């Protein structure tokens, strides 16, 4: 077993602080519990958890003894549904490994019960759950060579070659600074991902704007301007033709402009949040509108890209500009009161530390950011690859989405520190006039055009109820849609594959559960629902443009452009 790489200070501090909190909860060393603390007395709860634990342990050992003569393991404790760590038959058939597995599961449940019974406030309880889960996941016997029967078998069958290959894989990943989660040699940006035909028509130090070639003879008069997250590369929206959101939109007669954020290096360590608004989103909207010659554009933002886009539109509306016909927000938070598991990393100490170290200039490493997101699903994105790559000497499979996931980006320190404080820590964006951006007081209630707000049911980054709250914050008519699956797979759900499902047309109101109870379930992709919602806002049909750009914004280079490269060449001035 090995520790993941690029572990940020927030994770280390949170891990040890949570352990201290749990210890204090059961020793009486903590201060008086807050009003929202759990009701049971810690001593009594601990005694009940221990009693239940020993009852299960006795049942396990008695079962093991009774089945020893038969040479077959007893199954007293089973993994939860969906837990694939112990799928191999040897974990069930071999009495020793079965005992090891079940003892681990019992110990895990004891720790879980202790966390649930701890008399601490809701916020601390959330942190305890998260870091206890990290500890539990990391201590699985499957993660250690000496206690993983599959790794042992592979070593014997290959005469130690699997161990040598695993060690070589580990050394290679140490050079990279991250765990390999896909076969990166199978993909190349511009060759078999990000292959939709297009042209870079504008660039400044912050982003390139790609205009994609039309796929229909007639196109909507108003173009589509997409602002993706700046914490990842844009091509999640254009992976391969069969799952490309960009291609789908073009096939539906949309003229698509897409922001390709530059991966910041030390030269961009001074960039602020306001510059992402003014020189980023606002500029992209301006250029897309100018090239198309339309009165307005339709705008799409995803995750933090949606937060940036919403902020930009609020600034434009405060200036009296009405250049956006509709807004689509994909798994985006405007109200950060419930940030999900990401909230466990945010506190005054951590934010102040970032402000002091990189808040006035510097870079927040994409490797650290990537690790944070991996911990949210450690049993999917960390430990399976530790076991496969290092213990078994295997190679990860080729998967375009995971290739994109591994292609991380940095963030400018001033922008990142401001974002942490004003969004995650203080939740200022949803408070009218609380923030000023680009010299303008911001009220997202002034976003008064129609909005399509999309959340996903299993989102671990933007909980769907948090996404739903945007319907109560923006000022225009809203349509909320809830997709199946998670933050990425729920969005990238191609219409052609007709997979998963979504919910729509629930009764609007303050209660997201009330909305869901009245919503209608639809099979297939939300993409088809969205494009029908968009059409009334897209204007009349006009002849598709014969070339990209115009006299002012001339073609610079073919898509996907230089900025998406791992190490982009020198940047031209705007």
The residue among 122, 105, 16, 8 whose CA lies nearest residue 57 is 105
In whole angstroms, how large is the CA radius of gyration of the chain?
A: 26
Q: Is the predicted pLDDT of residue 574 greater than 60, yes or no? A: no
Q: Within a 10 A sphere around the Cβ of 176, how many other Cβ atoms?
A: 13
Q: Map tokens 């399976």 to a residue.
A: 384
* Mean pLDDT for all residues in the chain: 90
Lowest-pLDDT range, 102-116, 251-265, 307-321, 532-546? 102-116
Asked if residues 534 and 509 have their Cβ atoms less than 8 Å apart, the reply is no
Both tokens of 481, joined, read 């849609």
Task: Pick the range with the lowest mean pLDDT from 58-72, 190-204, 302-316, 378-392.
Answer: 58-72
Tokens of 499: 């997979």
Domain residue ranges of the chain, discontinuous segments joined by +: 9-143, 198-365+410-558
User: What is the structure's pLDDT at 18?
Assistant: 74
Among residues 345, 403, 404, which one has the least CA distance to residue 372?
345
pLDDT category of residue 3 using cuts at 50, 70 and 90: very low
Element holding 104 (H helix, E strand):
helix 95-117
Instruction: List CB contacts of 297: < 8 A, sequence separation 6 or more.
Output: 222, 223, 224, 225, 257, 285, 288, 289, 323, 324, 325
- Going from the C-alpha of 550 to that of each of 210, 287, 288, the distances in angstroms are 13, 10, 11
Least confident of 28-32, 94-98, 437-441, 449-453: 28-32
For the cut 70, the answer to whether the pLDDT of residue 352 exceeds it is yes
Question: Distance between CA 111 and CA 138 in Å, rounded?
Answer: 13
Tens digit of pLDDT for each residue in 167-190?
Answer: 999 999 998 888 999 999 999 999
The residues annotated as belonging to the active site are 303
pTM beyond 0.75, yes or no:
yes
pLDDT surpassing 80 at residue 452:
yes
Is CATH 3.40.50.1820 the right assignment for the domain spanning 198-365+410-558?
yes
Candidates 245, 235, 179; CA nearest to 208 is 235
Residue 529: is its pLDDT beyond 60? yes
Residue of higher predicted confidence among 45 and 559: 559
Question: Cα separation of 405 and 147, whole Å?
Answer: 30
Q: At a CB cut-off of 8 Å and minimum separation 6, what does 529 contact?
A: 481, 502, 504, 522
pLDDT value of residue 317: 97
Q: Characterise 505 by phi-psi region: left (phi > 0), alpha (psi -120 to 50), beta (else).
A: left
Unique residue bearing structure tokens 């609020």: 314
CA distance 330 to 254: 18
Indicate left, alpha or beta for 183 from its phi (over 0: left) and psi (-120 to 50: alpha).
Answer: beta
Query: Where do runs of H (alpha helix) occur along 358-478?
Result: 366-375, 378-381, 383-385, 400-406, 413-419, 464-468
Does the pLDDT of residue 436 top 80, yes or no? yes
CA–CA gap between residue 547 and residue 554 (Å, rounded): 10
């Amino acid at each position: 077993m090995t520790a993941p790489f690029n572990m940020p200070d927030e994770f280390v501090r949170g891990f040890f602080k949570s352990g201290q909190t749990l210890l204090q909860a059961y020793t009486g060393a903590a201060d008086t519990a807050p009003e929202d603390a759990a009701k049971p007395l810690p001593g009594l709860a601990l005694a009940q958890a221990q009693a239940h634990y020993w009852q299960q342990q006795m049942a396990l050992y008695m079962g093991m003894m009774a089945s020893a003569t038969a040479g077959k393991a007893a199954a007293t404790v089973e993994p939860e549904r969906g837990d694939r760590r112990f799928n191999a038959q040897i974990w069930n058939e071999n009495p020793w490994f079965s005992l090891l597995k079940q003892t681990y599961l019992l110990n895990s449940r004891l720790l879980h019960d202790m966390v649930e019974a701890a008399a601490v406030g809701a916020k601390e309880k959330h942190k305890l759950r998260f870091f206890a889960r990290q500890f539990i996941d990391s201590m699985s016997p499957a993660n250690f060579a000496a206690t993983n029967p599959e790794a042992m078998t592979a070593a014997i069958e290959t005469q130690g070659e699997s161990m040598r290959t695993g060690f070589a894989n580990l050394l290679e990943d140490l050079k990279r600074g991250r765990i390999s989660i896909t076969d990166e040699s199978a993909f190349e940006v511009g060759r078999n991902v990000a292959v939709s035909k297009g042209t870079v028509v504008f660039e400044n130090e912050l982003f390139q704007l790609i205009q994609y070639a039309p796929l229909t003879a007639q196109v909507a008069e108003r173009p589509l301007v997409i602002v993706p997250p700046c914490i990842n590369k844009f091509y999640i929206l254009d992976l391969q033709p069969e799952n490309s959101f960009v291609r789908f939109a073009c096939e539906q007669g949309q003229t698509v402009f897409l922001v390709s954020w530059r991966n910041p290096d030390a030269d961009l360590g001074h960039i602020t949040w306001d510059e992402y608004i003014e020189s980023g989103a606002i500029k992209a909207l301006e250029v897309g509108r100018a090239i198309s010659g339309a009165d307005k554009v339709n705008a799409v933002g995803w995750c933090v890209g949606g937060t940036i886009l919403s902020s930009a539109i609020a600034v434009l509306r405060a200036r009296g500009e009405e250049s956006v016909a509709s807004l689509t927000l994909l798994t985006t938070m405007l109200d950060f009161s419930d940030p999900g598991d990401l909230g466990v990393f945010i506190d005054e100490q951590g934010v102040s530390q970032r402000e002091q170290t990189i808040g006035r200039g510097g870079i927040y490493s994409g490797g650290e950011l990537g690790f944070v997101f991996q911990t949210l699903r450690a049993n999917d994105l960390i430990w399976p690859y530790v076991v496969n790559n290092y213990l078994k000497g295997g190679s990860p499979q080729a998967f375009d989405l995971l290739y994109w996931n591994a292609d991380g980006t940095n963030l400018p320190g001033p922008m990142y520190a401001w974002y942490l404080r004003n969004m995650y820590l203080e939740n200022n964006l949803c408070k009218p006039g609380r923030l000023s951006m680009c010299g303008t007081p911001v009220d997202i209630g002034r976003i008064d055009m129609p909005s399509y707000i999309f959340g996903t049911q299993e989102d671990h980054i933007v909980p769907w109820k948090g996404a739903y709250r945007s319907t109560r914050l923006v000022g225009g008519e809203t349509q909320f849609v809830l997709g199946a699956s998670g933050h990425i797979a729920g969005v990238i759900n191609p219409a052609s594959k007709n997979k998963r499902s979504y919910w729509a047309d629930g009764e609007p109101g303050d209660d997201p559960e009330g909305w869901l109870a009245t919503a209608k379930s639809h099979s297939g992709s939300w993409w088809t629902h969205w494009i029908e919602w968009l059409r009334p806002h897209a204007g009349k049909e006009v002849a598709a443009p014969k070339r990209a750009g115009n006299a002012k914004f001339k073609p610079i280079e073919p898509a996907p452009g230089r900025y998406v490269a791992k190490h982009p060449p020198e940047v031209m001035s705007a």
